[in-house]
A and B are shown apart, each in its own frame.
Chain A
Amino acid sequence: MALIASDRAKIRVEHLSFFYGENRVLKDNNIEIAESRITALIGPSGSGKSTHIRVYNRMFELYAGQRATGRVLLDGADVLDRRRIDGMQLRSRVGMVFGKPTPFPMSVRDNVAFGLRLQGIRGAELEGRVMRALQDAALWDELKDRLGALATSLSAGQQQRLCIARALAVEPDVLLLDEPASDLDPIATAQIEELIRQMRGRLTVVMVTRNLQHAARVSDYTAVFYLGEIVEHAPTNVLFTRPSERRTEDYITGKFG
């Protein structure tokens, strides 16, 4: 599907296939991810959604026996070209947050500062960036007096927003969210959703979710995965009311899952 006219592609995926050993789990994926928009990836368990986004920042290369073929162009440069794009640098441009909150066993401040310190940022700039990231993650007011507290002592929702703050602190171009609200109660989920909505216009977000309502509420575009293929990709308002593909229709109306 072409993006709507006013949107431009931040990421262009061309003929992407992915293999766990000999097992091909992504089959010729082609998709354009709109810049500064929120794209949701939906589909049954095992359909390849998480595998697909793990290619965007080459997260997979940290594991043996996994390989990707095809091209993933981030602003025109192929992130799969290891000679030209360094994995660490790529992962600071393409941040990632997982379903289960993964705070480091250190203070709130040190969690957010972690990536910044790796980039050599110190002193007042570091403090300013930590504050801004916590503000962006809607945590500053709640935690400004507890920056020294252990991150693991926070509630699950706060921990997840802290992980988002940690990802935002290094000012990525793209943020990948893998089931960001799967472990949270409805209030914490609503806070995360509001946070994601606020990223619209500033950051390109790609979000994997099994929660269709979550995708419908938050995203601008939705792509449907099934057995490693992208079945349909369309503006969210269109996809959830009048999908073009029968497999999309059957999945979102609960005829298979």
Chain B
Amino acid sequence: MSDHLDRDYEHDLATLRDKLLLMAGRVEVMIADAMRALIGRDAHLARKTLEVDHKVNTLEVEIDELCMLILVKRHPMARDLRFVVSALKMVTDLERMGDLAVNICERCIDLASLAETPPYDDIPRMANIVQQMVRDAMDAFVAWDLEGAQRVLLSDDEVDELYHTIFRDLLEVMIRDRASVTCCSQLQSVAKYLERIGDHATNLAEEVIFMVQARDVRHHGKR
């Protein structure tokens, strides 16, 4: 993305990339804080994290606007076109991830009011993987790194497996102990939100693959 003769164009593309990275960074922090709030049963932190979402939403609007301006003013072609089109799609995935982090925080607030929760080590593990997926997808985006993006796709299988394990384990707890139903169903929701964040991170990686290789890898069945 370097060496355009038109410096303003170069600047627009760099600004777009930086705003996307900023948005992804905010989403990553939201997911991390949501997990800290869950583990620490910290309703205050969960509420603070909820408030960050409007910054993510603001960035979504700014990035959409910038993409439209680049399309109308610059008529991007080839890799520039794929970069802008990918950015337009990635921004939607990032915004949805922010919303899912909000959903996790809402469950945290509910869980914090409950007396006790069963052990749920796999949920933080799952959260670590999806956060790494987001980071790796964005690193691949910056570096136009095809292999990096492809690795993200593989991680999603692990997330899906963990989700099914967590769901089954919590179901068994609920069968054994009816008093745990409220708590366990909240934790199942948290796992579901993380699983969906993983799906959006996969979308980010697929968009990077399209951007780098001009090849659409969506909806190609099980990888």
Give A residues with C-beta under 8 Å from B. Answer: 212-213, 216, 240-243, 248-249, 252-257
Q: Do the beta carbons of A253 and B214 come within 8 Å of each other?
A: no
**B48 to chain A: closest CB distance in Å?**
43
From the candidates B3, B5, B75, B78, name the one contacting A241 in the complex (CB within 8 A).
Answer: B78
Q: Is B124 an interface residue (CB 8 A)?
A: no
Across-interface contacts of B76 in A (CB, < 8 A):
253
Across-interface contacts of B4 in A (CB, < 8 A):
253-255
Q: Do the beta carbons of B75 and A253 come within 8 Å of each other?
A: no
Q: Do the beta carbons of A255 and B214 come within 8 Å of each other?
A: no
Q: Is B171 an interface residue (CB 8 A)?
A: no
Asked, given contacts A241-B214, A242-B214, whether A253 binds B6 with beta carbons under 8 Å apart, the answer is: no
Q: Do the beta carbons of B3 and A255 come within 8 Å of each other?
A: yes
Q: Do the beta carbons of B5 and A257 come within 8 Å of each other?
A: yes
Across-interface contacts of A256 in B (CB, < 8 A):
5
Q: Top 3 A-B pairs ranked by shortest CB distance?
A: A242-B214, A252-B77, A253-B80
Q: Is B151 an interface residue (CB 8 A)?
A: no
Q: Is B79 an interface residue (CB 8 A)?
A: yes
Q: Is B9 an interface residue (CB 8 A)?
A: yes
Q: Is B66 an interface residue (CB 8 A)?
A: no
From the candidates A243, A248, A249, A255, name the one contacting B5 in the complex (CB within 8 A).
Answer: A255
A-B contact pairs, 16 of them (CB 8 A): A212-B75, A212-B77, A213-B75, A241-B81, A241-B214, A242-B82, A249-B79, A252-B78, A253-B4, A253-B77, A253-B79, A253-B80, A254-B5, A254-B9, A256-B5, A257-B5
Q: How many interface residues does B have (CB within 8 Å)?
A: 14
Across-interface contacts of B9 in A (CB, < 8 A):
254
From the candidates A213, A253, A257, name the one contacting B78 in the complex (CB within 8 A).
Answer: A253
Residue of A nearest to B6 (CB): A254
**A28 to chain B: closest CB distance in Å?**
25
Interface majority SS (helix, strand, loop, mixed), chain B:
loop
Whole-angstrom distance between the alpha carbons of A212 and B77 in the complex? 9
Interface majority SS (helix, strand, loop, mixed), chain A:
loop
Asked, given contacts A212-B75, A253-B76, whether A240 binds B81 with beta carbons under 8 Å apart, the answer is: yes
Across-interface contacts of B80 in A (CB, < 8 A):
253
Whole-angstrom distance between the alpha carbons of A249 and B212 in the complex? 13
**B6 to chain A: closest CB distance in Å?**
6
Chain B residues 1-33 with CB under 8 Å of chain A are 3-6, 9
Across-interface contacts of B81 in A (CB, < 8 A):
240-241
Residue of B nearest to A243 (CB): B78
Residue of A nearest to B10 (CB): A254
Whole-angstrom distance between the alpha carbons of A107 and B194 in the complex? 75
Whole-angstrom distance between the alpha carbons of A256 and B4 in the complex? 7
From the candidates B3, B5, B6, B78, name the one contacting A240 in the complex (CB within 8 A).
Answer: B78
Across-interface contacts of A254 in B (CB, < 8 A):
4-6, 9
Whole-angstrom distance between the alpha carbons of A254 and B6 in the complex? 7
Across-interface contacts of B6 in A (CB, < 8 A):
254
**A40 to chain B: closest CB distance in Å?**
13
Whole-angstrom distance between the alpha carbons of A243 and B4 in the complex? 17
Whole-angstrom distance between the alpha carbons of A212 and B74 in the complex? 11
Q: Do the beta carbons of A248 and B78 come within 8 Å of each other?
A: yes
**A44 to chain B: closest CB distance in Å?**
11
Across-interface contacts of A255 in B (CB, < 8 A):
3-5
Q: Do the beta carbons of A242 and B78 come within 8 Å of each other?
A: yes
**B217 to chain A: closest CB distance in Å?**
14
Whole-angstrom distance between the alpha carbons of A255 and B10 in the complex? 10
**B14 to chain A: closest CB distance in Å?**
14
Residue of A nearest to B74 (CB): A254
Residue of B nearest to A239 (CB): B78
Residue of A nearest to B83 (CB): A253
Whole-angstrom distance between the alpha carbons of A115 and B77 in the complex? 41
Across-interface contacts of B79 in A (CB, < 8 A):
249, 253
Across-interface contacts of A257 in B (CB, < 8 A):
5
Residue of B nearest to A216 (CB): B77
Whole-angstrom distance between the alpha carbons of A240 and B6 in the complex? 19
Residue of A nearest to B5 (CB): A254
Whole-angstrom distance between the alpha carbons of A241 and B82 in the complex? 7
Whole-angstrom distance between the alpha carbons of A213 and B72 in the complex? 12
Whole-angstrom distance between the alpha carbons of A257 and B4 in the complex? 10
Across-interface contacts of B5 in A (CB, < 8 A):
254-257
